[in-house]
Structure 1
Amino acid sequence: MKIVTIIGARPQFIKAAVVSRAISSFPDVQEVIVHTGQHFDTNMSDIFFEEMCIPKPNYNLNINGMTHGAMTGQMLEKIESILLAEQPNWVIVYGDTNSTLAGALAASKLHIRVAHIEAGLRSYNMNMPEEINRILTDRISSVLFCPTEQAIKNLYQEGFKQFPCTLLNCGDVMQDAALFYANKAKCPDFSLPEHFILATLHRAENTDSPERLQSIIAALEEIAREMPVVIPIHPRTRKKLQELNFDFKQTRLQLVDPVGYLEMVHLLKHCSLVATDSGGLQKEAYFFKKYCITLRTETEWIELVEQGANIITGWKYEDILNSYKQLKHTTKDVFSSPLYGDGQAGHIIIQELQRIDS
């Protein structure tokens, strides 16, 4: 059985590495990895692949820095050529990027079966390009590997029971990754307080709105009066703050350069609380038993909210402060439920593809 894996960003490499490690234990399964280059990342050096135990891509398309349509169109054309040459049994795509949609479209038009990992997630915010990508990819996939029961329910509500596809809750590959990398965490090259809040802020709806950005930063500044706030700051966020004449010298926030995944694991293991507008970090906070304040008005990971591990605050100053006050003294243990599987998602995925292929 031959699998072509399509990925386009560093987080997708980490997810795909879980499945690649599973594939290595199946001698009759061959994997060909295609990196679209969607998110150009200077940190993805040879050292990155060695440290992360990630196989290097067989193809690198170097497609980035364009509009969504132009990027997706070029990816579609080049991925189609690769699929015609490789003739795989399956194409695996991850999550919700333009690379995901382009890979799924190219495969489906060639009548090659698509397996979508992280299927069924919904924020119900159609202003997000990711929401469009994940909905379209789900609809043209042959197997939908869902990370949670909520994702399965979302697909049932959209009528997927009637479609010619397989739905399976395999658990979350990022749970597998968290377990694998927990002991490989790297201490970052800056000093950390004994107790601190880990915050990230990068989504366009927050950074492109001066009102939202200033409100969130003001709330984090106020929280930093009580507990240090460490922010690996996204280049877009730094640029937007500069445009607002933010005083980087006088801020109470500890602003640091972006960190790699192993450094982020270290920060997650040692922080007291997480505040973020990232989808993935909400979930990773749960993996490392940390409460999370989500600086958005919705989340794909609704089970975290229902479990009491995550509070959706949006961007308003008072809402953020109230959520911090609610969580800072809580002692309730909400992290014992296996919401995301038992760390065997990678093996479940390959076993299922083999079962279907047999």
Structure 2
Amino acid sequence: MRVPLHLAALTLLAAIPTSAPTQETPTEKTAAADVIRRINELERSLALPQLVARLTGARDAHRDAVVARAKELMDKELLAMADDITRHPETGWKEERSVKILTDYLTAHGFDVEPGVAGLKTAFVARYRRGAPGPNLGVIVEYDALRGTSRDFHGDQHSAQGPVGLAAAVAVAEFLTSSKTPGTVTVSGTPAEELASPAAKTVMYNAGVFKGADVLIRSHSSTATQVPGPGFGSCCMNINVIHYTFSGAPAHQLQAWDGRDALMGVIELFNHIDGLRKTLRPEAKVQGIITEGGKAPNVVPDRAVAEFWIRYPDPVYLAQVTERVNDAARGAGLATGTKVRIDVD
């Protein structure tokens, strides 16, 4: 009777193509070797293709009932919850209303909720236990909104991710009770996914929040149904968050030659990065904004700051891209007669 608990998660795992390493240099291959080895060992131990073929090739009334119940919960209750969270966006570390909505629903369906796990105010864990120890299905949910210049908004489907996760968790929990199957469903609420530091999931992982889960699954909406392209790390990005602070000398803009324009240093950094893009692998992402650009139009800015997020699946190549962006910042400083300080979050 334990098989249905794993079914949804195993089906999702089996849909991902076999890893084909994207590493190209010997250094990259060496750096990734241990991770790839563990992924391959896990895949072999689970025998996923054979297991999924067996499970999905046969009729399973229990499985179909769980899926139907999850859909019913979405249609009758949780789509409205998703709309509600969408209309009330809350950015990272401020998601108190969203967390209350999600945890109140879980409490109403028999889950024991532990708020503020890992010392994070808007993180939570909710558990539903049935009978003797059995398999533990972990469901991760996110709920923070994006930061906008005029208003915050949900543009990355986090408002729906929680309700979808709750539909699956509650449907499986109800199955455990009705079928008298021993097991646990654990919902982990992970805040501030759209913020860089501190990384909530890393903090929660280091605190042992995810220990005990046999499988961890997460929903993320999209405009299309698709399988990620093959390749180690193709679905996920490592990220470096870097602040570039340029320092110059102030002067009146009518005598700008007496100053050193820190804002021009930032602008040249952006120009240098645009020139770099065509030399980077297509998976690399370099995204930045100007967070400080001066105090008044008639004064040469003596301080300007840019924040960049640099992403790549492989930490080895990520370090190479990061150093090239750092060199671009140093070059921008030389070109404009300014100094640049580089701080990594």
Same fold, judged at TM 0.5 (above): no
TM-score between the two structures when normalised by the length of structure 2: 0.30
Q: Which has the higher contact order (CA 8 A, sep 6+)?
A: 2
TM-score between the two structures when normalised by the length of structure 1: 0.30
Larger Cα-atom Rg: 2
